[in-house]
Structure 1
Amino acid sequence: MAALVAGLLVPAPVSVGASPDLQLRDVPEATELGDITDEAKTVVNSTIDDAAGAVERYRFELSSPKSVEVVLRRLTANADVYLEDALGEVLGSGVEFGKSDERFSLTLAAGAYQVRVESESPVRYRLKLKLTEPVGEPIGGASAESPSGPSIDTGTESLIGTRTDPGTGTDPGTDPGTDPGADLVDVWSASLDVAAADGAAGYSLWARLGSLSPDRFDVDGTTYQVMVLAEIAGGLYLGLRASLDTDFVLEIDGQQFVGSESQVPNGLVLRGTYWWPTDGLLSASASSTVDVSLSAATDALPERSEAPPGAWFSRIPNAHDGSSQFTLRLNFDEADPQVTGGSMADALTITGGSLVTASEAATDGKTWELTVAPDGPGDVTVTLPAATDCATDFAVCTADGRMLRNTPQATVQRPIGQSAGTGFTTLSGHAAYTCALRADGTIACWGPASSGEANPPEGTFKALASGSIHACAIRTDGTIACWGDDSFNQGDAPAGTYSQIAANGRTSCAIATDATLTCWGYDAFGQANAPSGTFTAVTLGWEHVCALRTDRTIACWGYNDEGETNAPRGTFTAISAGEVHTCAIRTDTTMKCWGHHWDGRSRSPAGNYKSVSAGHAHTCAITTDDTITCWGKNTSGRTDAPAGTYKSVSAGNGQTCAITTGDTLSCWGENNYGESDPPDGTYTEVATYLEHSCAISTDGSAVCWGFDRDEIASAPAGAHTAVALGDYHACALGDDGAIACWGDNAHSQTGSPAGNFTAIAVGAYHGCALGTDGTIACWGDNALSQTGSPAGTFTAIVAGDDHTCALSDDGSVACWG
């Protein structure tokens, strides 16, 4: 916190607070906000640019008592906020650590007051003062000349809603001419679970990439659904089902994107499309959750320029077999790309294989199908380099001479769904990749490796741990080696010798041979600051860490928004951390859980236990009689453990797998990609990840199953009389009148009804069919009333993206959606 005073939790009431460093600086003049008694909300946007931080002050008056909520949010770094009376006495404060919102409420008497915002580093913030009718006895009310000297005479009106730089007359938080307006209204706050695949990072409803909750917001009575919020091809895409025509500010993890500064991307088939150039904003947060918000302005969105052309690969095979040719597609968001002095085949670079053919799959040149032959069992990488100018040989540009903005790349590896080889003893992995330790001490990894996390070093090892996009292992000599992403120094392994290692997210921890603990990597919430003492076990949640001391007590540290670090008293024998909760087995074999509790994940079940595994939002444990008990979030039956007796259990994101006492596998919970359909055979170890699982068989082979791309081209068997295509799904009418649908099912658009039908019509995410009795049945997305079909009998039906029309028996037309 900025105002650190040894031994105190709350800053002392002094006229000029802050750390000693800040007290040595010149006391700034206060910005005059005037009398805000009749203002329901006063908003100030500002930026502290000083490399060493600074103090900013805002003076306001109340002509009658009011309850005032002080909110400091959208922080890009740590900052604290204080409310003082006119004499400088601190009446309230918000001093949370890091970028967490600061918030407190007071009932104030009539008088003069001052808000003080201070930081020890550059920071951008939004300050809100929300006024409501007074509740309880008011405090304050002193009336004196502002302790910071005379106010700035710039006029109250220009300062309500924006912080103005007296030198330039502009908001220092935005560029001149791009201020979205003073009347920003917060319309949407959401959590974005960032996923990464095929060069994209973020959320896409179409591609089932990541998740966004909530995914809708309202502006002036219109509902907007976010279809895409992802970093693709060198920029950030925002795709809305409807066009938002007023200016806005989109904020992602503290970074702001102004609607009027966006460009119009080609190739995104939506009504509302916005694009900003970025470099690693979301890809650096893969497999983590970031805060997203949007504030709408009253100003109309101005005309915007087109985004530069981009390219990407699609239909990338999960793997190749080392000899057979495979195909993938190269896509452009503008038609008819030109290759200087050659063909598209000349422009491509391939390592680990050779290009067989490159042919246009669309007449406009926006899609190319590539056939590649691998050189052998290694990875095959296909790259389209971006040129520095259009005159260079084999440069890819548009017909009017605009260069690509990015360098797309696709790597084809061994499939997740096949055996990864034999001779393994230990598994470790994360959402998209897996590593295994062989009996001979070497490591093999497979799956996507955008940051090198699936490229382990040579040598022999004895322990292995995997984070979201990095991995670490203990060598046979006790030293540590790390590989993969190093953006938060997670690859900077400490010196010394170690016996245990654990990782999650972007942080790693290891127990040394002298039983002390060291952590490194991402440290935004202090999770890499391990306590002193000696330990026997360590487990990592997403932003918190817990460890079992040698005296069997528990220590936790890091992010504590949900009570994750509020370790219980007592002694314990085992511990496991989920995303924002932790469970541990006491020495008397009972269970104790803590942390996030809304969905019951920290509910400690009765019974006696001998092992525990905490997943993303649920936990499973093996009892002393070898049965399994699960608790927490029960979406898709993830806590509905089957009967039987078990030897080990692994709880993943939405599924759980366990090894029975007969060494066979049993899985339950989410099964969108077959992650709960384990193979036959006998096994010694099982591990579950985001949407796939892996196990080591009794013969030492590693086998995985689960996530694979949607097979929209895999039509069902049987005879059909008609077929209709949606955005990422299809439906067919069988010759027996039944309907079969396949592909993306995010909106239940493949959940066609039973019965006999004579015609089908499919929209983007919904479908409708004409029954043999002339009535209509619809299914799928209903956000715009697409499935609200009318009563009556009809003879023909047709569908658009979000609406459907039908021809009635009497010749009239009915439409809905």
Structure 2
Amino acid sequence: MTFVTTAFSNGHRRRRSWRRILSLLFAVTGSTLLNAQPLPPLSDVQQLAAGEGHACVLTTSGAVKCWGNNEYGQLGDGTTTHRYLPANVIGLSSGVIAISAGYRHSCALMAAGSVKCWGKNLLQQLGDGTSTNRLTPVNVLNLTDATAITAGGDHTCALIGLTGLKCWGYNGYGELGTGNTTNQATPANVIGGQNLLAVSAGYSHTCALTTTNTVKCWGVRDRVCNLVTCSYDVDLSPTAVSALGSDVMAISAGQYFSCARTSGGAVKCWGDNYYNQLGDLGNDNPNPVTPSRSAASTAAWPRSAPVTATPARAWPMARRDVGVTTPRRNWAMAVTSGR
């Protein structure tokens, strides 16, 4: 496959993320794991996108197929029936050049520059001006010249070449980068969204790679929870991740953490590390999963190559997402090579 997107998981449903990963392996490779029956392999895949409980592939002919959880219509087959095998997305049999799977919604970038989304829309993440869930793809309004897309937790963004970045959907933590916390039912301009090469939407924050190879992020910066409540520190507009410097070639935002790849192939991550997703040999895992050269070529979007971010879990501890200042786990850390 050419591209793989960032995967998301619901914080307290760790096992579901494993089932999603296994489902991806079954469909793409046809491999048998545990006692599961192998699925027919997909031999014409050029991009794969994984959401919280569903996955989609873009074929070499420009068609989209999805499978998995379909509670909100995120498979785009006109039903809410869960699918164990890839189902054709209605109306997307050709003409698609990129796809992205968010928490409970999916999006496709068309060759002409328009964007279509489907699935959960209660927080207006589909960008069609409504809050109605959609079982089949609908056009994102006022968007005809997009060059890249990214679907996050409950928000979505699209690059408009080097001229701008537009985001829409939930904005309770400033993840749209509009300078406020107002939800947007249609694409809204991100403050300072010019001269960006790539964008990656995480669960509650967003990061972008600039033409000077630096990184900017916005949304949740700190998340501190106890057994009862959580408090958040947010950035409402793009803010530089200064610790990364100006040598970044690719980015990926996950759930409460982010990763970046440098020109030399090194991977640096920051944010939550409860499940060792930062790859720094922290906690009790002596051999974390280590990005290799092949992982460095794994990309969320065309024209960029973000490493795949591992799902995280909400827990009563500090969260450091954006990486602008340097409290615990808030700086960019090099991923350690495994043995």
| TM-score class normalised by the smaller sequence | 0.5 to 0.7
Q: Residues 625 and 473 (structure 1 numbering): CA distance in 2 closer, same or farther, change over 3 Å?
A: farther
Gaps of 5+ in 2: 1-9, 77-88, 128-139, 178-189, 224-232, 282-286, 297-307, 319-339
Matched-pair identity in %: 29
Q: Residues 560 and 494 (structure 1 numbering): CA distance in 2 closer, same or farther, change over 3 Å?
A: farther
Q: Residues 699 and 550 (structure 1 numbering): CA distance in 2 closer, same or farther, change over 3 Å?
A: closer
Read off the aligned partner of 1:570 and give its amino acid letter: T
What is aligned with 1:481? 30
Read off the aligned partner of 1:584 and give its amino acid letter: A
Write the mapping of 1:650-729 to structure 2, written as runs, cut at 5 A. Answer: 650-672=252-274, 675-676=277-278, 678=280, 694-697=289-292
Q: Helix, strand or coil: the match of 1:583?
A: strand
Q: Is the 8 A contact 1:589 1:610 kept in 2?
A: no
Q: CA deviation at 1:695?
A: 4.0
What is aligned with 1:616? 203
Q: Residues 647 and 565 (structure 1 numbering): CA distance in 2 closer, same or farther, change over 3 Å?
A: same
Find the aligned partners of 1:601 and 1:509 in 2 and give their Cα distance.
24
Aligned residues: 236
Find the aligned partners of 1:623 and 1:528 in 2 and give their Cα distance.
32
Matched, 1:518 2:104: no
TM-score computed with the length of structure 2 as normaliser: 0.58
Q: Helix, strand or coil: the match of 2:70?
A: coil
Read off the aligned partner of 1:545 and give its amino acid letter: S
Q: Residues 496 and 640 (structure 1 numbering): CA distance in 2 closer, same or farther, change over 3 Å?
A: closer
TM-score computed with the length of structure 1 as normaliser: 0.26
Q: Residues 499 and 615 (structure 1 numbering): CA distance in 2 closer, same or farther, change over 3 Å?
A: same
Q: CA deviation at 1:520?
A: 2.4
Question: Deviations along 1:286-325, whole A, 9 cap, x unmatched?
Answer: 44xxxxxxxxxxxxxxxxxxxxxxxxxxxxxxxxxxxxxx
Report which of the two has the higher share of strand: 1
Q: Is the 8 A contact 1:492 1:521 kept in 2?
A: no
Which of 46, 50, 55 aligns to 1:499? It is 46
Q: CA deviation at 1:556?
A: 0.3
Q: Residues 618 and 484 (structure 1 numbering): CA distance in 2 closer, same or farther, change over 3 Å?
A: farther
Matched, 1:471 2:24: yes
What is aligned with 1:555? 116
Question: Deviations along 1:527-580, whole A, 9 cap, x unmatched?
Answer: 112241420111101210001011121000111001111134121111111121
Write the mapping of 1:134-149 to structure 2, written as runs, cut at 5 A. Answer: none
Gaps of 5+ in 1: 1-191, 197-285, 288-429, 434-452, 454-466, 680-691, 708-743, 748-817
Write the mapping of 1:292-691 to structure 2, written as runs, cut at 5 A. Answer: 467=20, 470-472=23-25, 481=30, 497-529=44-76, 530-533=89-92, 534-566=95-127, 567-568=140-141, 569-603=143-177, 604-606=190-192, 607-635=194-222, 641-643=241-243, 644-645=245-246, 646-672=248-274, 675-676=277-278, 678=280
Q: Helix, strand or coil: the match of 2:291?
A: strand
Q: Residues 468 and 608 (structure 1 numbering): CA distance in 2 closer, same or farther, change over 3 Å?
A: same
Read off the aligned partner of 1:521 and give its amino acid letter: G
Q: Residues 517 and 631 (structure 1 numbering): CA distance in 2 closer, same or farther, change over 3 Å?
A: same
Q: CA deviation at 1:678?
A: 3.5
Q: Residues 694 and 647 (structure 1 numbering): CA distance in 2 closer, same or farther, change over 3 Å?
A: farther
Q: Is the 8 A contact 1:470 1:485 kept in 2?
A: no
Find the aligned partners of 1:580 and 1:699 in 2 and give their Cα distance.
30
Q: Is the 8 A contact 1:470 1:483 kept in 2?
A: no
Question: Deviations along 1:661-699, whole A, 9 cap, x unmatched?
Answer: 3433332223446544647xxxxxxxxxxxx97443459
Write the mapping of 1:222-241 to structure 2, written as runs, cut at 5 A. Answer: none
Q: Residues 640 and 472 (structure 1 numbering): CA distance in 2 closer, same or farther, change over 3 Å?
A: same
Q: Residues 697 and 625 (structure 1 numbering): CA distance in 2 closer, same or farther, change over 3 Å?
A: same
Q: Residues 706 and 623 (structure 1 numbering): CA distance in 2 closer, same or farther, change over 3 Å?
A: closer
Q: Helix, strand or coil: the match of 1:561?
A: coil
Read off the aligned partner of 2:123 and give its amino acid letter: E
Find the aligned partners of 1:482 and 1:570 in 2 and give their Cα distance.
40
Read off the aligned partner of 2:60 and give its amino acid letter: T
Find the aligned partners of 1:623 and 1:635 in 2 and give their Cα distance.
23
Read off the aligned partner of 2:12 and give its amino acid letter: V
Read off the aligned partner of 1:518 and give its amino acid letter: K
Q: Which has the larger radius of gyration?
A: 1
Q: Residues 563 and 573 (structure 1 numbering): CA distance in 2 closer, same or farther, change over 3 Å?
A: same
Read off the aligned partner of 1:517 and give its amino acid letter: V
Q: Residues 473 and 693 (structure 1 numbering): CA distance in 2 closer, same or farther, change over 3 Å?
A: same
Find the aligned partners of 1:528 and 1:486 in 2 and give their Cα distance.
25
Q: Residues 700 and 495 (structure 1 numbering): CA distance in 2 closer, same or farther, change over 3 Å?
A: closer
Q: Residues 614 and 745 (structure 1 numbering): CA distance in 2 closer, same or farther, change over 3 Å?
A: closer
Q: Helix, strand or coil: the match of 1:470?
A: helix
Read off the aligned partner of 1:503 and give its amino acid letter: A
Q: Is the 8 A contact 1:470 1:482 kept in 2?
A: no
Find the aligned partners of 2:72 and 2:197 in 1 and give their Cα distance.
32
Read off the aligned partner of 1:564 and give its amino acid letter: Q
Larger relative contact order (CA 8 Å, sep ≥ 6): 2
Read off the aligned partner of 1:641 and give its amino acid letter: V
Q: Is the 8 A contact 2:207 2:252 kept in 1?
A: yes
Question: Deviations along 1:329-386, whole A, 9 cap, x unmatched?
Answer: xxxxxxxxxxxxxxxxxxxxxxxxxxxxxxxxxxxxxxxxxxxxxxxxxxxxxxxxxx
Q: CA deviation at 1:496?
A: 7.5
Read off the aligned partner of 1:470 and give its amino acid letter: S
Find the aligned partners of 2:170 and 2:109 in 1 and give their Cα distance.
20
Question: Deviations along 1:3-38, whole A, 9 cap, x unmatched?
Answer: xxxxxxxxxxxxxxxxxxxxxxxxxxxxxxxxxxxx
Find the aligned partners of 1:498 and 1:677 in 2 and give their Cα distance.
29
Q: Is the 8 A contact 2:207 2:251 kept in 1?
A: yes
CA RMSD of aligned residues (A): 4.1
Q: Residues 628 and 517 (structure 1 numbering): CA distance in 2 closer, same or farther, change over 3 Å?
A: same
Q: Is the 8 A contact 1:548 1:575 kept in 2?
A: yes
Find the aligned partners of 2:148 and 2:107 in 1 and give their Cα distance.
11
